[in-house]
């Protein structure tokens, strides 16, 4: 099997090198299946070697019996104000990216007037959406949202719970704005990225903010299409829960950088069959060469390899099966040695 994978990787690499003279980028070569799929990401491009060799990779399968309750974990906070941005069909995924500036206008006949102009000027102020609290030691600025989904209801999410996968998953990404100036820089650096995973379950009524994104899907039918989205609340995409699981991992697409703190919320939001159908109508390529439908854009679960998965869910109470779950509460005691006088 390993020899077959190696042979396929060599073949793919030769194809890529052949097309290099035509200006084809690495970004156009990776996919979610076949010889350019997840099993080969780390083989076809040496710069993506972490995808195959890394030991802190994402996504993972979350096993409830292995969760560690950490009493020091705080509630996660995401700013509530609305922002604008662009939703795009990248050919790999559906991604909403925040505008660089969410601005408001301030007019004044005095301090905000340009000297000698005789008129008012417009003052623009950045109002970033910040993510703080939870397991985070720094302030993170919201950057983008990724939507992963399957072509069938039985799978689609990247993270799974005890082997159970959901039809879809949205991932909210932010970068460490206290240490780094932008997402592109932070993704290479320690403590650079936070990713909040929200699992999506089928339901009759969808999350309202999710509808704001899926209502635009007809405008991004083909790969490379994009359209603006005005005034969306990232905070309102979250389910009504303060409980989550967290672990240290990676980005789930090449180059699989191991710089991500993952926060997986313990409650899903709902997506309707109609919304999933709209997602499944999207195509990977452009109108002239639409290629295959966009979907099944999820990486398989990666080995946890002894990484702790912490949670703020207090499992100290006995479960129905009578078992108590692990805890990180201190269990401190002292016992003196016995001794005899000689």
E strand segments, the chain = 61-62, 67-69, 76-78, 83-89, 94-98, 130-133, 140-149, 160-161, 168-176, 193-202, 226-232, 244-249, 260-265, 269-271, 309-311
Sign of dihedral through CA atoms 78, 175, 171, 144?
positive
Distance CA(256)–CA(209), nearest Å, equals: 29
293 and 284 in contact (C-beta within 8 Å)?
yes
Q: Which of 180, 244, 247, 270 does the annotation list as catalytic?
A: 180
> H helices within 21-130, ranges in order?
41-44, 50-53
CA–CA separation, 192 and 332 (whole Å): 35
Pairing mode of beta strands 160-161, 140-149: unpaired
- How far, CA to CA in Å, does 83 sit from each of 94, 97, 103, 131? 18, 10, 9, 14
In 3D, which of 74, 219, 216 has the Cα closest to residue 133? 74
Q: Does the active-site annotation cover 180? A: yes
Alpha-carbon span 57 to 249, nearest angstrom: 5
Q: Annotated active-site positions, please?
A: 180
């Amino acid at each position: 099997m390993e020899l077959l994978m190696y042979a396929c990787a060599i073949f793919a690499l030769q194809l890529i090198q052949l097309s290099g003279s035509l200006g084809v980028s690495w970004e156009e070569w990776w996919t979610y299946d076949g010889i350019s799929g997840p099993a080969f990401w780390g083989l076809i491009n040496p710069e993506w070697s972490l995808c195959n060799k890394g030991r802190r990779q994402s996504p993972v399968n979350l096993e409830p019996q292995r969760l560690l309750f950490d009493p020091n974990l705080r509630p996660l906070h995401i700013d509530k104000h609305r922002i604008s941005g662009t939703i795009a069909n990248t050919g790999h995924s559906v991604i909403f990216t925040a505008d660089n500036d969410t601005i408001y206008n301030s007019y004044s006949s005095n301090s905000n007037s340009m000297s000698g102009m005789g008129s008012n000027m417009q003052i623009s102020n950045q109002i970033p959406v910040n993510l703080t609290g939870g397991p985070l030691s720094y302030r993170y600025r919201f950057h983008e949202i990724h939507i992963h989904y399957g072509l069938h209801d039985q799978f689609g999410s990247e993270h799974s719970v005890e082997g159970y996968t959901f039809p879809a998953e949205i991932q909210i990404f932010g970068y460490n704005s206290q240490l780094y100036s932008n997402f592109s820089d932070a993704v290479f650096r320690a403590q650079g990225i936070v990713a909040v995973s929200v699992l999506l379950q089928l339901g009759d009524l969808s999350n309202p903010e999710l509808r704001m994104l899926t209502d635009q899907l007809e405008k991004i039918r083909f790969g490379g299409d994009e359209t603006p989205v005005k005034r969306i609340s990232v905070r309102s995409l979250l389910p009504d829960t303060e409980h989550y699981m967290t672990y240290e991992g990676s980005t789930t697409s090449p180059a699989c950088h191991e710089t991500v703190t993952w926060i997986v919320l313990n409650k899903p939001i709902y997506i309707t069959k109609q919304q999933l159908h709209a997602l499944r109508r999207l195509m990977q390529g452009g109108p002239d060469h639409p290629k295959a439908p966009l979907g099944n854009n999820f990486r398989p679960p990666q080995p946890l390899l002894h990484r702790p998965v912490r949670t703020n869910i207090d499992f100290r109470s006995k479960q129905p099966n009578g078992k108590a779950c692990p805890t990180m509460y201190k269990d401190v005691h002292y016992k003196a040695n016995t001794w005899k006088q000689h």
